[in-house]
Chain A
Amino acid sequence: MKQSTGKKRMDNEKKRKYQQMTMKMRPNPPIISNSIKAFLVGGAISLLGQGIQNIYINYFDFSKEQAGNPTVATLIFISALLTGLGVYDKIGQFAGAGSAVPVTGFANSIASAALEHRSEGIVLGVGGNMFKLAGSVIVFGVVAAFFIALIKTLISLI
């Protein structure tokens, strides 16, 4: 028993050293080419959004302020569909933040989490895991917005 714990400890020590070594050897991410890819894909998705927004303004009588909401909903629909078809994740491998930062990435994180846990059932799997990745965005967005709105309201009351 004693011997085995000692062996375990040595194994752990070896593992730790190996991890330290790999951390040192790991190549730095290609920052410039990653940034260019993110810029192009993120820009393209925004461009698509602008096109959809103009369609809503010109053909469906939305005002400029109102057109943002149906645009976002349309982009989310497209993104969820592409996630289901397995296409969005391929775009993500190429684009990194370029496809993660737009609202389509938010929809992708929800749809892919739902899809991934489908086998665990509709309630526990899909329902329970849908916001696994997107949850933090909503939590921190809401908390930050609450305090900012609180401060602004209190200032305006003075």
Chain B
Amino acid sequence: MGTYWSAFLVGGIICTIGQLLMDMTKMTPSHVMSTLVVAGAVLDGIGLYEPLIEFAGAGATVPITSFGNSLVHGAMAEAKDHGLIGIITGIFEVTSAGISSAIIFGFLVALVFKPKG
């Protein structure tokens, strides 16, 4: 699941797409991030994101697009067991690690450090 080269290549390409969206369409970074997350969710919806992870490993799981992919994955896994209500209960299942660690470490950083410049 992914070599160093394919991870570098695919991770770099996804970031380049983000940079091009910023430079060529005058989108703000927030718009670009939201677009990429939705793109990741759509790509997983049509079954294209898993093959990308298979090929690129962290190159596909580290960019923010994988957040959309993981949201769909968690929702679908629960939906298989519990039907439609599973979509709601499962949506954060896979992304829990990312969101909770971002909240916890972000909070601790704000307590420990002083803002710079």
Contact = CB atoms under 8 A, between A and B. Distances in A.
B48 interface: no
Interface in B4-20: 4, 7-16, 18-20
26 contacts: A38-B12, A42-B14, A43-B11, A43-B15, A45-B62, A47-B7, A49-B58, A49-B62, A53-B58, A53-B61, A73-B97, A80-B105, A81-B105, A97-B29, A97-B32, A102-B63, A105-B64, A106-B102, A122-B111, A141-B41, A144-B38, A144-B68, A144-B71, A146-B87, A152-B72, A153-B83
Contact of A98 (B15, B61, B113): B15
Interface stretch (A1-9, A10-18, A64-72): A64-72
A101 B34 CA distance: 10
Nearest to B32: A97
Contacts, number: 264
Contacts of B106: 80, 107, 110-111, 113-114, 130
- Which 5 pairs of residues, A with B, have the shortest CB-CB distance? A46-B11, A42-B15, A43-B12, A145-B71, A49-B58
A114 to B, nearest CB: 4
A76 B101 contact: yes
A62 to B, nearest CB: 12
Interface residues of A, number: 77
Given A71-B61, A101-B36, A141 B110 contact: no
Given A45-B62, A46-B11, A73-B97, 9 more contacts: A35-B23, A73-B98, A101-B63, A101-B64, A101-B65, A103-B64, A118-B115, A140-B38, A144-B68
A45 B42 CA distance: 24
Contacts of B45: 148-149, 151-152
A113 B34 CA distance: 17
Given A45-B62, A86-B116, A148-B44, A141 B68 contact: yes
SS class of chain A's interface: helix, strand, loop or mixed? helix
A115 B114 CA distance: 7
Contact of B62 (A75, A119, A139): A75
Interface in A56-115: 64, 68-73, 75-77, 80-81, 83-86, 95-98, 100-107, 110-111, 113-115
B103 A130 contact: yes
